[in-house]
Structure 1
Amino acid sequence: MIISRRRFLALAGVVSGTTLIACCSTPDPEVPDVALERWTGGDLPLVAGVSADGRRLVDENGSPLLVLADTVWTMSGVYTAEQLGKYFSERQAQGFNAVQTSALPFHIDGSGNRVDGCIDGQQAFVDGDITRWDEGYWTRLDTLLDEASKRGFSVLLGAMGPLLAYGIGDPAESREFGRMLGDRYGGRPGIIWLFGVDYASSEWDLLDPSLLECLDGLRDAGADQPATVQYHNNSSLSVDNARWGGRVEVQAAYTYAPTYAVVRKGYELAEGPVALVESNFEDENNTAGPDTTSETIRRQVLWTYTSGGAYAAYGRRDVWQSRGDFLDALGSTAVAQLGLIRARVETLDWSAWVPDLAGEVLVDGSGEDVRSGSQLDGTADMLESDFATCAATPDRSQVVVYLPTARPVRLDLGDSEVHAVWWDPTTGAESGVRPDDSGWFEPPEGRHSDDATDWLLVVDRVAAG
């Protein structure tokens, strides 16, 4: 039986930092190559903090950074130096710029069970003591972080986890462990410290004291990188546990339901940039809803970016578990389309977008905000809602609308002359469009080979004169 991400990742720590160039998997012939020069050049930006308004992640120069992360929880326990190079090279070319992985090593055995330590037996600690580090393992983690930053990958790095497996719970030791982490890694750009991961509310009282002491130890050592915490419960945000309020700089969103709901909620709470750290994975379904498809993956990422989110993560079972021919599993139609999406969004004024939460810009055609559906907890799957999300710059000089299903929409743009296109997230093709006299935009007929009907509408105001 394949072990569930939920239980096996109890309290796992994660890092974001990947950059890639195609080298291992076969590209999808129907999707254009997105290996752009800006993704493979030198001096690639890394996450270094949070913008002054608390809405975006920024690099060392203070410039906003749009994050597309891959999920490889087992990387530190499995990958050789050669495999790290291949992985980051390919993912860079595919358009990713972050990776999520555990700071403490584990791997999945042939029966689908989690095994603590590296796949070759290397352990992180001497005799299980978190304050006595085995240098052999931590040198490996250094190499992972070096390869990530070299390719322009930020790393969502779990500070403490999987702690239950190590029997860790003493707050004083946890603070010292955090200080040791901060001494070693506090000066590195490109790290977002992650606490929790599938961290159930039933465990908060037991483990919060140790986790928060670890965070304090990081800060004692001068580690000022952003931090966040992820829970186990569906459709959660970091602020759901009051103990973490004001302690983390990034809001981790976790949901298997349509992503716009939790991301928009996080944006309204204004407690830091919203990062979608987990939603549906390819080749995996934890909720008994419809199978995860390429359209599922597109929806959860485009809904995130147009709902105020600054960070969206992707995952695939064989890749996050590092099982089988995992480097050959890096390519898929969904992956290629995610590269197209990041490339297109980065051409737009995305860092200035404000989600249209009140429906003042998208005034007709938004569709139904479906919240209930076929999943085990009664919530809707990504494919069971057709709700359109809209974002705009404060002056409405640019408006974007993501429609999961094709239909006319009406925008309130005043009397402005506009240039507008329908952009196809499956191929990158676009079609010009003009609104009618009432502000309605009609999508083109005919679509791509997979019969998807989602579109991104991009509307720019044309300057007078």
Structure 2
Amino acid sequence: MEKLQISKNGRYFTYPDGTPFVWLADTAWTMPQRMKWDDVTYFMEERKRQGFTVLQIVALDPERDIEMRNPTGEKALLDDDLLTPNERYFSYLDWILDKAAEYGFYVLLLPVWGQLVVGHDWGGKTYEKTVTEANAYQYGKWIGERYKNKNHILWCLGGDRQPIHLGVDYRPVWRKMAEGLAKGITGKDLHYNRKDPAWEKLMITYHACHERETGECSTMSYWTDEEAWIRFIMLQSGHGLEPKNYELVKKEYDREHVMPVWDGEPAYEMMPTSWPPVNASFHGSWMVRKRAYWSLFAGSFGHTYGHCSVWCSIAEKEKNAMSRLTWYEALKCEGAEQMKYLRALMEDLRIMTYRPAQDLLPEENDSVEMDQHRQCCLNEADKTVCVYLPSGGTAEVDLRKAGYGDVAYIWWYDPRDGKFYTSDGKETENAQKMIVSDGKLQAESPEAGKEKDWVLIVKKEDGEKPICDKVYFDAEKEGQLKKVFVW
């Protein structure tokens, strides 16, 4: 696989020839500890069929098993020592990473989960700290050297923790690990706060948590631009109902020091909407779509999907009031299946190259409900405008600012089924010609209301439908898709 790089304008990832990369990730944090080899294969085939291109995985994750054992019972660390990794554990991680490459997935790999650094879990329990300033460099060097030739790996430090946690500053630990990774991958002695062209070869970000007290949830919440190792920005918009991830993305998009930004942990499908999950409602596919389209049209380079039962690989015997499906059952949930329509839009429109264009829409006042918030973006040539309407309704777009004339051609794209419809609800293969009055377009979605979201695509010229049907994995051609192992 080709190594990804950052675009010349600093906004998104590309292949070496400059072609934009479509980042559509799934959160599979605990895969190395919780999934047998045949389940891993099934998982990857399903996610490839649904259009995913990236898997987010943790090498050492204690959240489901403090011993961090793989499915054969091999502990990740001998004597619980970070500097004595168990080769038999990591050989299975090697296999998973190689299998991901075989299926064409890039992997965002976390060397450790944040709990191992802070010694504290979200249930309030405390543990001896496994990762410290004394051993972080050596482990980073070891794992970096182990995977230095795997072009499909990007790196992520952190792991659901801010670098300043419960008043303790853990930034020196993470800096040591970043420098260790650099030594292992490049062979050079790089310093966390010194610019060096070698840092540009390392794609590293930081996965923060969503702080309830402050609302901070970005890679850059507690870091500055002096951190030469940070190359792109991850948001954790979180699992509550209140976060407006389009505002979070905008804040990072507008930074003076430009870096790619994306929502790397939005509200998971079937995740409780409040914590603790007492009498809670659960996020459905509508929330999944809203966070995805809002963030993309606000300037994200891609998007990450997640499911409450998949990230932690829930087994049949572990189902409960919070995780109501097994990971295997959850793979086919509605929101996951609808990600292939998002992938098609990203791919055919090259949406990662668009710029946010809220100035084309009427200004919203503070009384506008979140589920009525429209998000707009415009392509580089000013020939295509996209507007996401989370509840449908009327879209008013000022096309004068995009240089349109008296006529525009519109398409209504349904993110629930990937098809195009006319304003009166009929499926169509053709654009609707619209008269632009005084430079402003008025268009009415085929339907409106709760969970009836639409994408309006406005073009200067008539033409074929802008998003085509896709098949990302054909089970009949590739061999019968099946699950070998039954929990």
Query: TM-score normalised by the shorter chain: which range applies?
Result: 0.7 to 0.9
CA distance 1:82–1:462, change in 2 (3 Å):
same
| 1:5 alignment partner in structure 2 | none
Displacement of 1:99 after TM fit?
1.3
Q: Find the partner of 1:155 among 91, 99, 107.
A: 107
Q: Identify which of 70, 79, 82 aligns with 1:118.
A: 70
Q: For 2:20 and 2:379, how far apart are their aligned partners in 1?
A: 15
In 1, Cα distance between equivalents of 2:366 and 2:285? 21
Indicate conservation of the 8 Å contact 1:105/1:118, yes or no: no
Match of 2:34 in 1: 78
Give the alignment's TM-score, normalised by structure 2: 0.76
Residue 306 of structure 2 corresponds to residue 306 of structure 1? no
Matched, 1:317 2:280: no
Q: Larger deviation: 245-254 or 142-151?
A: 245-254
CA distance in 2, matches of 1:435, 1:390: 20
**Equivalent in the alignment of 1:437:** 437
RMSD: 2.6
* Separation in structure 1 between the aligned mates of residue 284 and residue 13 of structure 2, nearest angstrom: 29
Q: Where in structure 2 are the equivalents of 1:50-61 lying within 5 Å?
A: 50-61=6-17
Structure 2: runs of 5+ lacking an equivalent: 120-126, 187-200, 316-325, 423-430, 464-487
Report the residue type matching 1:213 in the other structure. Answer: K
Q: Within 2, Cα distance between the matches of 1:105 and 1:253? A: 20
Alignment check: 8 A CA contact 1:230 1:254 kept: yes
1:238 aligns with 2:201: no
User: Are 1:229 and 2:220 an aligned pair?
Assistant: no
SS of the residue corresponding to residue 242 of structure 1 reads coil
Deviation at 1:85, TM superposition (A): 0.8
Higher relative contact order (CA 8 A, sep 6+): 1
Deviations 1:224-248 (A, max 9, x none): 3311112122452111113574431
User: CA 1:186/1:203 → structure 2, altered by over 3 Å: closer, same or farther?
Assistant: farther
Cα 1:102–1:212 change in 2 (3 A) is: same
Distance 2:2 2:55 in 1: 12
Equivalent residue in structure 2 for 1:108, among 64, 68, 84:
64
Rate the CA distance shift 1:370–1:182 in 2: closer, same or farther, 3 A.
Answer: farther
SS for the counterpart of 1:222 is helix
Which residue does 1:23 correspond to in 2? none
- Which of the residues 132, 136, 140 maps onto 1:170? 132
CA–CA separation in structure 1 for the residues paired with 2:50 and 2:2: 17
Question: 1:348 offset after TM fit, Å?
Answer: 0.8
When residues 435 and 287 of structure 1 are mapped into structure 2, their CA distance, relative to the original with a 3 A threshold, is farther
* 1:91 is aligned to 2:47: yes
d(CA) in 1 for partners of 2:332, 2:137: 40
Judged with a 3 Å threshold, the aligned counterparts in structure 2 of structure 1 residues 395 and 136 are, in CA distance, closer, same or farther, namely: same
The one-letter amino acid of 1:59's match is Y
Q: Give the length in aligned residue pairs.
A: 399
Q: Shift of the alpha carbon at 1:51?
A: 1.5
Distance (Å, rounded) in 2 between the aligned partners of 1:268 and 1:121: 47
User: 2:236 matched to which residue of 1?
Assistant: 254
Residue pair 2:299, 2:352 contacting (<8 A) in 1 also: no
Matched ranges for 1:138-149 at <5 A = 138-149=90-101
Partner of 2:174: 211
Q: Name the counterpart of 1:330.
A: 331
Contact 2:32 2:93 in 1 (8 A): yes
Give 1:419's aligned residue.
409
Distance 1:187 1:204, change over 3 A: farther
Per the TM alignment, residue 193 of structure 1 is displaced from its structure 2 partner at its CA by 1.0
User: Could you give the per-residue CA deviations for residues 133-188 of structure 1, whole angstroms, max 9, x where no partner exists?
Assistant: 21101101101111111111111111232423562343242111111111111221
Q: Counterpart of 1:226 in structure 2: which amino acid?
A: M
Percentage of matched positions with identical amino acids: 23
Larger Rg: 2
Residues 6-17 of structure 1 correspond to what in structure 2 (within 5 A)?
A: none
1:285 to 272, 277, 297: 272
Q: In the superposition, relative to structure 1, how do residues 170 and 335 fare at CA in structure 2: closer, same or farther (>3 Å)?
A: closer
The Cα shift of 1:249 comes to 0.5
Query: Which runs of 5 or more residues in structure 1 are unaligned?
Result: 1-44, 372-382
Counterpart residue type for residue 412 of structure 2: W
Letter of the structure 1 residue corresponding to residue 170 of structure 2? L
The offset of 1:262, in angstroms, is: 0.7
Normalising by structure 1, what TM-score?
Answer: 0.79
